[in-house]
Amino acid sequence: MTLGGDHAGRLGVCAAPRCDRVYVDTSRNAGRQFCSTACQNRVKAATFRARQASDEP
Ligand SMILES: [Zn+2]
């Protein structure tokens, strides 16, 4: 069995903290990092908050 074929998609593990779900990345540019938009939004919000906090003196 070969992974990475044109129509196989790519397997990845969610990049969100405390989430280790595996997803199949079917996006064309393989830019997906999260199992769901819920995780994506959670990490995005956390990153935004962290950046703001570090920017403040
Ligand atoms: Zn996730």
Tally of helices (H runs) and strands (E runs) in the chain: 1, 2
Residue 4 lies in a domain: no
Residue 16 lies in a domain: yes
What mean pLDDT comes out for the span 43-47? Answer: 95
Using the mean position of ligand 1's atoms as its centre, give its distance from the Cα of residue 57 in Å.
32
Structural domains of the chain, count: 1
pLDDT, one tens digit per residue, over 18-38 is 999 999 988 888 888 999 999
Residue 31 lies in a domain: yes
What is the pLDDT of the chain when averaged over all its residues? 85
Using the mean position of ligand 1's atoms as its centre, give its distance from the Cα of residue 17 in Å.
8
Using the mean position of ligand 1's atoms as its centre, give its distance from the Cα of residue 22 in Å.
8
Measured CA distances, 10 to 21, 36, 57 (Å): 14, 15, 42
pLDDT band at residue 56, thresholds of 50, 70 and 90?
Answer: low
Q: Which residues surround ligand 1, an ion (CB under 5 A)?
A: 14, 16, 19, 21, 35, 39
Residue 2 lies in a domain: no
Residue 5 lies in a domain: no
